[in-house]
Structure 1
Amino acid sequence: MKLASVLLASAMILVTIPLANAAGNEADVSQTGKGNQAGIGQVGKGNYSGIGQVGKKNEAVSLQAGKGNVSGIGQFGKKNEALTVQVGKNNVSGTLQFGKYNEATTTQVGKGNSSVIVQY
């Protein structure tokens, strides 16, 4: 599955989750081996994200919508790709990639913003 497909699926999930169900938010993913991919969605309140990945065909996404935001992502491996989108409130981001095919995108919209992308 390509990053665009993961992004589309995550966006559709974000649109269909009522705000009340997302109050606590938080998520972690950690992968090691070959085909790596990840997701994460989240809509409103405490937010936080994660993701890890080490192995081969890394891809990640994150998305978040409103309140505490924060994110992460950190890939080491082969075909790194990442995407973080945050929308409103305290934002912050991250993203760290080591490898050959590094590619990252971060979009933040309103309030505390801040972002760092490091690629080797």
Structure 2
Amino acid sequence: MNANWIKVFVAAFFEVFWVIGLKHADDFLTWTGTVISIIISFYVMIRAGRELPVGTVYAVFVGLGTTGTAISEIIFFGEPFKISKILLILLLLAGVIGLKLVTKDDVKEGADS
């Protein structure tokens, strides 16, 4: 895995924090953390998108962020556990992993391969 894919994973990690923050922030400190998470998340994702195909970067970013957010809501915020939700998350992750596997790391979007 190259450094640009690590950037996508870091961006998705911070996405989980800002998405949760948008729902649960209620004071200056939590809103500040939410804004900082947004800035870090998008900055790192944009940096990765400069070297990797932007469509794949965005799909992986959103897929991992969605998965992390859904799991965090279940674990930390009492969202009901539903097997159907877990199966759909696994399906989403399979798609994200598949996209990552079929994407060449060294090809920019629009370049001839």
Q: After TM superposition, is the score higher than 0.5? A: no
* Bigger proportion of residues as strand: 1
Which structure has the greater CA radius of gyration?
Answer: 2
| TM-score between the two structures when normalised by the length of structure 1 | 0.28
Ranked by relative contact order (alpha carbons within 8 Å, sequence separation 6 or more), the top structure is 2
